[in-house]
Chain A
Amino acid sequence: VQLVQSGAEVRNPGESLKISCKGSEYKFASYWIGWVRQMPGRGLEWMGIIYPGDSDTRYSPSFQGQVTISADKSISTAYLQWSSLKASDTAMYYCVKGYSGSLNDAFDIWGQGTMVTVSS
C-alpha cells in the first residue's frame, strides 16, 4: 500500500498549480484521502479530505476557499490545486490515507511529500 506524489514545483506568485497523489495496492475509492501542509521549519496542518468513492469533501476553515481538493477514482489519484499561488503557500504538502472508512480516523499511509516553492 502506498501513495506516490508528483514532483517538486516552482512557481511565480499568481500562477496556478495542481499536484497529485496516486494510491496503489488498496481499494482507493473506499478510504478517505487527506492533505497536510508543513511550512518550512513548522508543524503539521490539516487542509482537508476527500472520499474518492463519492467525492464528499471537507475543508479546514483555514484552507476553505484557498485550495481545491478533488479525486479521480478511475485512476486512483487525488489532487490539490491552487488558482493563484502566494509566497506563503511555499511548503511541503503530504497526501495521507485514512486508516479505515471513517472520516475521523488516523492516517496510516503518508505520501513522500511534494515541495511547492512560490517565488518571483
Chain B
Amino acid sequence: QSVLTQPPSASGTPGQRVTISCSGSSSNIGSKYVYWYQQLPGTAPKLLMYRNNQRPSGVPDRFSGSRSGTSASLAISGLRSEDEADYYCATWDATLSGYVFGTGTKVTVL
C-alpha cells in the first residue's frame, strides 16, 4: 500500500491536455521534492521531472510539474500517441526514512 495516491488511469485525444494528480502527506510531498517517472510499455522507467518542476535534458516542454501543499501534479499538454505510458510520482518520506513511489497512472491516448 503506497503512501502516494494516483488515479489508476487518465486519457485524452491527441492535442489535449491531461493532468495526473499525486496525493501524499506532510511527511513526504508536503516537505520534500517530488519526482515523476515515465515508463513506456516494456521498458525501464525514465526520469521525467525532478525537484517538483524541473525537466531533465531531452524532456519536451509539453510536460510540466507542480506541487501545492501535500499534493503534486503532472500535466501533459499537446498529448501525443508516444505519451501513452505509465506515470509514477515519487518522493522521500521523512517518517519512513525512505523513498516512496505513487501507485501509478496509465495514460491512454484515444
Contact = CB atoms under 8 A, between A and B. Distances in A.
Interface of A: 34, 36, 43-46, 48-49, 58-61, 94, 99, 103-108, 110-113
11 contacts: A44-B45, A46-B101, A49-B99, A60-B98, A60-B99, A61-B96, A99-B50, A103-B92, A104-B91, A105-B33, A106-B33
The A interface is mostly helix, strand or loop, or mixed, namely strand
Among A36, A43, A58: residue with most chain B CB under 10 A: A43
B51 A58 contact: no
Contacts of A58: 97-98
A35 to B, nearest CB: 11
Interface in B74-90: 86, 88, 90
B24 to A, nearest CB: 14
A31 to B, nearest CB: 14
A25 to B, nearest CB: 15
A34 B99 contact: yes
Interface of B: 2, 32-33, 35, 37, 39, 44-47, 50-51, 56, 86, 88, 90-92, 96-104
A60 B45 CA distance: 20
Contact of B51 (A44, A48, A106, A107): A106
Contacts of A110: 44-47
A44 B38 CA distance: 11
Contact of B56 (A49, A108, A112): A108
Contact of B47 (A45, A49, A94, A106): A106
Nearest to B100: A46
Contacts of A111: 44
Given A43-B104, A44-B37, A44-B101, A94 B45 contact: yes
A43 B101 contact: yes
A61 B51 contact: no
Contact of B50 (A103, A106, A112): A106
